[in-house]
Structure 1
Amino acid sequence: MLLEFIRGNTAPAPVPFVPEITLYQAEEPIALWEKTEESGGEQPPPFWAFAWAGGQALARHVLDDPGLVAGRSVLDLATGSGLVAVAAAKAGARPVTANDVDPYSLAAAEANAAANGVEVRTVEADLLDTDDPYGVVLAGDVFYSREMAARVLPFLRRAAGRGSLVLIGDPGRAYLPSEGLVRRASYDVPVPVSLESVPVRHTTVWQLLTAGA
């Protein structure tokens, strides 16, 4: 049922800034967004149907520098479409875990992994109060609200404190932390105007440092 909904409302297409990867994407973003709202709140917003700027930047960075993840365990936190997880798998990460609380997101991640011929395991859970170790933690566009930032940042700081490489892709969202970040790369990323109000978002990949580093 989930896969049928995804395939019935999206179409496979190359990601604008990462054309090596094909994703099931909404051709009419606003129409799909409205469709999920009309369902009476049964479904969360379809974040999985779009290639968001932070995820595109992270995917590009990982594919351009595969040594960051190759042979290491990777967590793609709040995976959405699974774009970043797919990029990590293509870059040689093993195993790759795509995590989200939305079952539609994880179905999309599975479909997108299959479309790109890579293996990604999915975990439907809120991991933000856990401390499972990963070699690399990737987080694209997670600082979009005050509430989300307040929960995500401690999780990411704990991961960095345990020695994980923590990389964040962010196009200047309002709640990105102002301290403890080192810029690794910046890109001008194409985005849907209907969602972002602009055709391009200047997006940065940051490395999160441990507290006091």
Structure 2
Amino acid sequence: MDSLDPPAGRRSGMINPAGISGYDAEAFIRANIPLVAAPSIAGIRVHTAQPSTGLWRLLESRRGAGALSPYWAYPWAGGIALAMHFLAHPEIVWQRRVLDLGAGGGLVAIAAAKAGAASVTAADIDPLAAVATKLNAVANGADVLVVQDDLTMGPPPAVDVVAVGDLFYDQDLALRVTAFLDRCLAAGIEVLVGDPGRAFLPYQRLRPVADYQVADFGETSATKPAGVFSFTREGEGG
């Protein structure tokens, strides 16, 4: 494989989460996580856990106590800000190849597709996130290539724009993502970050682009500011 070739993924077909067959993963999400309007984004619906869903209990009953956190079942503030930004400024992604890194439920990827991207890849390590992204993309008529893999450990993909929503909440993850984004910059890829100011956001590497008032992680009664930033080379941000 060429160093800039995107990793193999799939637009359709089943992905096998541990403990849940591919068919059951889709059936589980359809049955337990309703398709609702994305916060502050007209025309996009995503499967989103509700207070009455009992998602942790449901997942642990199917996958065991070691199940990954179901972060993919909630729109996060940084992802909402990026999605709003792409739809408000479609020229950013128009006819360009876009990667949504750590896609969760694929909200940013769907927005990029709707804004006219030439191709969109959504990557996440969680197999249920990959299934949710596929379901959400189909529900919104968005053509999204879904990849279940940790792309931060490899070379930069063959894209023009990398979108990173809410990946700076953990120190080790933030370091790994930053190193990957540096490789992307070196390959000539534009990097945009959406984030409400999580603990390990590298402000010194960021140039502010826009601000949005958005909900966060399933919150429906309150909003918080979240920024869209351009990720820059050492010494160019701040």
Change (3 A) 1:30 1:170: farther
**1:156 is matched by which residue type in structure 2?**
L
**1:5 is matched by which residue type in structure 2?**
F
Counterpart CA distance in 2 for 1:33 and 1:139 is 25
Aligned position for 2:197: 172
Aligned position for 2:208: 183
**1:186 is matched by which residue type in structure 2?**
D
TM-score where L is the length of structure 2:
0.83
Runs of 4+ in 1 over 4 A off after TM superposition: none
Task: Give the CA deviation at 1:134.
Answer: 1.4
TM-score where L is the length of structure 1:
0.92
Corresponding residue to 1:103 among 119, 122, 127: 127
Corresponding residue to 1:129 among 153, 171, 178: 153
Task: Give the CA deviation at 1:193.
Answer: 3.7
Residue aligned with 1:188, SS? strand
Corresponding residue to 1:50 among 54, 74, 98: 74
Trace 1:1-213 onto structure 2 (pairs within 5 A).
Answer: 1-28=24-51, 31-37=54-60, 39-131=63-155, 132-191=157-216, 192-193=218-219, 199-213=222-236
**1:27 is matched by which residue type in structure 2?**
Q
Q: Which of structures 1 and 2 has the bigger CA Rg?
A: 2
Query: Can you list the C-alpha shifts for 1:58-111, whole angstroms capped at 9, x where unaligned?
Result: 000001001101111111001000000000000111211000111110111010
Q: Is the Cα–Cα contact under 8 Å of residues 24 and 112 in structure 1 kept in the other structure?
A: yes
**1:188 is matched by which residue type in structure 2?**
Q
Residue aligned with 2:152, SS? coil
Alignment length (residue pairs):
210
Q: Percent identity?
A: 41
Structure with bigger strand share is 1
For structure 2, the 5+ residue unaligned runs are: 1-23
Q: Is the Cα–Cα contact under 8 Å of residues 133 and 162 in structure 1 kept in the other structure?
A: no
Residue aligned with 2:100, SS? strand
Q: Is the Cα–Cα contact under 8 Å of residues 126 and 148 in structure 2 kept in the other structure?
A: yes
**1:147 is matched by which residue type in structure 2?**
D
Counterpart CA distance in 2 for 1:68 and 1:19 is 19
Counterpart CA distance in 1 for 2:87 and 2:147 is 23
Counterpart CA distance in 1 for 2:53 and 2:234 is 40
Counterpart CA distance in 2 for 1:188 and 1:103 is 30
Query: Can you list the C-alpha shifts for 1:20-64, whole angstroms capped at 9, x where unaligned?
Result: 211011122772134334542353111111111111000000010
**1:64 is matched by which residue type in structure 2?**
A
